[in-house]
Structure 1
């Protein structure tokens, strides 16, 4: 198993030979606040992705059967993503697809679970299952780790604001 720990509260595991990534991150906020930050497009665009990208949301219907589309921009470069919500269980779980428009055949299925912790904290657990080990490894090589860590640091700041 390959383990990348990039932040004291973030662990990213990419087991050898399987097409998934496991992500664990703890937050100093309750599950309802972490859930809202993942399902409210106005909050989402304040934290999702690295600091050097600006995000616009074209569509965001965070409910079972809903879909989303958003774009990250850096100068003239645009990175478009889209997917659908297969299950949205308030304050507990989100199951969605995730696709980068530049690689439409590389669809990932992401299962996000929120676990309440003592002291009003939350553990977020995500399993992202890609279409192949090669696609998963390509995502890792593209700097995915930086975007996750940077984004969750921004989410920490947003959650601290209340």
Structure 2
């Protein structure tokens, strides 16, 4: 059986700007973590809270591409969509993110992968929303649970790969 280390996920809401910063280290190289974000089959295996089924409608992770996926549990569905504005292999993904249940609150997200050496990396994600109310709505909607449980599933996926 493979032993998996779970690192702390830091989620910080900026007091001066409607921004959320998420920082997480992984015991895997940046290339593997990047691939888990851009490969729709892998992405569906780890994103979101445990117990959710993920259906990928589209996931064209390239500069100018777009995505839409649906999370489902107990007959409830939650859809998310956005556009990829810049994708640099193993380094950066800049995208928009919208929960279709709150279509006016679109976040601009920047995911940066940093090589830490020894086959490890750090992912820093910033999500900028146009208002503090919108940002706080994202945070209050259970984002923390989805992020933490999703990254735990990603740890397990990376350990198996």
TM-score norm. by structure 2 comes to: 0.94
After TM superposition, which residue ranges in structure 1, 4 or more long, deviate above 3 angstroms? none
- Summarize deviations over 1:10-53 as a string: whole Å, max 9, x none: 11110224210001000000000000000000000000000121
Distance 1:158 1:8 in 2: 14
Distance 2:99 2:141 in 1: 12
Partner of 1:68: 67
Partner of 2:47: 48
Distance 1:58 1:73 in 2: 13
Partner of 1:146: 145
Structure 1 window deviating more from structure 2 (10-19 vs 27-36): it is 10-19
Q: Secondary structure at the match of 2:25?
A: strand
Q: Counterparts in 2 of 1:119-158, with a 5 A limit?
A: 119-158=118-157
Matched, 1:112 2:142: no
Show structure 2 runs of 5+ residues with no match: 1-5
Size of the aligned set, in residue pairs, is: 156
Distance 1:110 1:28 in 2: 23
Query: Contact (CA 8 Å) 2:7, 2:24: kept in 1 or not?
Result: no
What RMSD in Å do the two structures reach over aligned CA positions?
Answer: 1.0
Distance 2:7 2:92 in 1: 24
TM-score norm. by structure 1 comes to: 0.94
Query: Contact (CA 8 Å) 1:30, 1:121: kept in 2 or not?
Result: yes
Query: Contact (CA 8 Å) 2:7, 2:26: kept in 1 or not?
Result: no
Partner of 2:24: 25
Show structure 1 runs of 5+ residues with no match: 1-6
